[in-house]
A and B are shown apart, each in its own frame.
Chain A
């Protein structure tokens, strides 16, 4: 029965790789789509996804983690924190298309960022932040209360307690939660479609800073959608190749999260 859970994953990966095999190469990664996306590689969507994920994470992770630290370590249990907690839980459950519409209204139009990498990253950040807050809070709450009390008893401040005892013992859980949001941000299509991703854009090949913050970009998830359904006569291997790269990225990130968790947990000490 357990193997039945693994089987679909192996089948998906195997089938994708099999179909994509003729096209997979370093060149595929490093060249722009060409000839109305019927040839060439995935350089500009790949880099676009990278930009979106990294920038959204840089925004969402610090704010999310600090918010969770505040909620769990500092805030007293009163009506205000209860409302905030409720809001976090509900925000985490809002469908991504709704976040997309919000991003369009708030960042693209109201804040005047236009359709841009920045607006799309902010939208992704808004989408991932509540989940980061929730998972971080959970990791913090797993640290026994007795440790905090022992610190307070010897005159340590809240911050010292958090910094030297609580965070070191919850960092693996916190990072796991954050990293899992990377794969979520990489895979989402709807939020970026509304706020910054475009159908096609050629950029300087092999140049990592080819996009600017206020440029629009391509993204892997949307590119896959485009070449699978919107463009006729695309060679079969092309969408499969794109899917393999997208899936590979997400799985690689998940693998990193597992390694991080295992390594940090082996340092956990109670």
Chain B
């Protein structure tokens, strides 16, 4: 694995119309680390992820300035945005099973990227479902609808789909919002397995989740990056910023 930064964000500003949601953020995500991003609602966490895989392009009225490099390439100069998105697995807050079979849900991205070989597809689907800790539950009904799974299963299906195009970065945006604590723990175990294989950016509204999983944690507040440091420091008694201490200890937020 190459060393250095997987994602380099320099002075990133995003506004929707006149409302500035990211106010000049500079942040590096190191190769192979788990970076937790915490912060109250409306602090720009999801927007940050959207700028990384450039789905921000599809948000009407969004204006982006600053630089974002993924794997050394400036994503804002990229011609082939689809290749960029294939490098990044994105897990959204609400589980989205596409209205396809479980198999097709996971095989969707490889197929769109041009993979046709049945055997290879089947292997890929099994591997991704195993990584997402869903294989055992669904292996006998791969051809039933993805949308018929329970919420927690659908979220793992979403993760399997996010892994299906072999991403180098996995972004999770508050993945536990719609699922119960037990399933959340299962998925956290999944993430612990995955951390050796890829860079993970974990946006979460549960500060303890960042504490459990992240190597480093960034605290985003009102569109500004107040602090980023090793997770132990953020959760210690003396993070650099007073606000960080108050937020992780539930004094506000």
For chain A, residues 122 to 151, give those with C-beta under 8 angstroms from any C-beta of chain B: 146-147, 149-151
Closest chain-A Cβ to B78's Cβ sits at a distance in Å of 12
> Is the Cβ of B92 less than 8 Å from the Cβ of A154?
no
User: Which of B84, B96, B161 has the most C-beta atoms of chain A within 10 angstroms of its own C-beta?
Assistant: B96
Query: CA A270 – CA B94 in complex, angstroms?
Result: 14
A86-139 residues with Cβ-Cβ distance < 8 A to B are none
Task: Please tell me if B182 contacts chain A, counting CB pairs below 8 Å.
Answer: no
Q: Check A270–B99 contact: CB distance below 8 A.
A: yes
B195 to chain A, nearest CB (A): 21
CA distance A268 to B99 in the complex (A): 8
A144's nearest neighbour on chain B, judged by CB, is B96
The number of inter-chain residue pairs (CB within 8 angstroms) is: 72
Q: A79 to nearest B CB, angstroms?
A: 13
A169 within 8 A of B: yes
Using an 8 Å CB-CB cutoff, how does the interface string of A165-181 with B read, 1 for contact, 0 for none?
Answer: 10011000000000000
With A153-B53, A155-B165 as known contacts, state yes or no: A269 contacts B109, CB within 8 Å.
no
- CB of A233 closer than 8 Å to a CB of B: no
In Å, the complex CA distance between A270 and B92 comes to 18
**A34 contacts chain B at the CB level, 8 A cutoff:** no
Total interface residues on A, using CB and 8 Å? 21
CA distance A151 to B161 in the complex (A): 10
| B-contacting 9-mer, from A38-46, A156-164, A250-258 | A156-164
A164 to B105, CA, bound (A): 11
Contact A146 B55 (CB under 8 A): no
Residues in chain B near residue A157, CB distance under 8 A? 82, 112
Taking residues whose C-beta sits less than 8 angstroms from the other chain, chain B's interface range is 20 to 34
Complex partner residue of B109 from A76, A77, A155, A168, CB under 8 angstroms: A155
A268 to B147, CA, bound (A): 11
**Which residues of the partner chain B approach A169 to less than 8 Å between Cβ atoms?**
99
A156–B82 CA distance with the chains assembled, in angstroms: 7
CB-contact partner of A165 in B82, B94, B99, B161, under 8 A? B99
- Residue of A whose beta carbon sits closest to that of B171: A153
State whether the Cβ of A152 lies closer than 8 Å to any Cβ in chain B.
Answer: yes
Q: Mark B131-164, 1 if CB is under 8 A from A, else 0.
A: 0000000000000010100000000001001101
Are A153 and B55 in contact (CB-based, < 8 A)?
yes
Q: Is the CB of B85 within 8 A of A154?
A: yes
* Residues of the A chain whose Cβ atoms lie less than 8 Å from the Cβ of B100: 165, 269
B83 within 8 A of A: yes
How far, in Å, is A82 (CB) from chain B's closest CB?
12
Determine whether B250 belongs to the interface, using a CB cutoff of 8 Å to chain A.
no
List the A side residues contacting B55 at CB < 8 Å: 149, 152-153
* Nearest 5 pairs of A and B residues by beta carbon: A154-B109, A269-B99, A155-B85, A155-B86, A153-B90
Can you list 18 contacts pairing A with B, beta carbon distance less than 8 Å? A77-B60, A149-B55, A150-B98, A150-B161, A151-B112, A152-B58, A153-B55, A153-B85, A154-B108, A154-B165, A155-B84, A155-B109, A155-B165, A156-B108, A160-B112, A164-B112, A165-B100, A268-B99
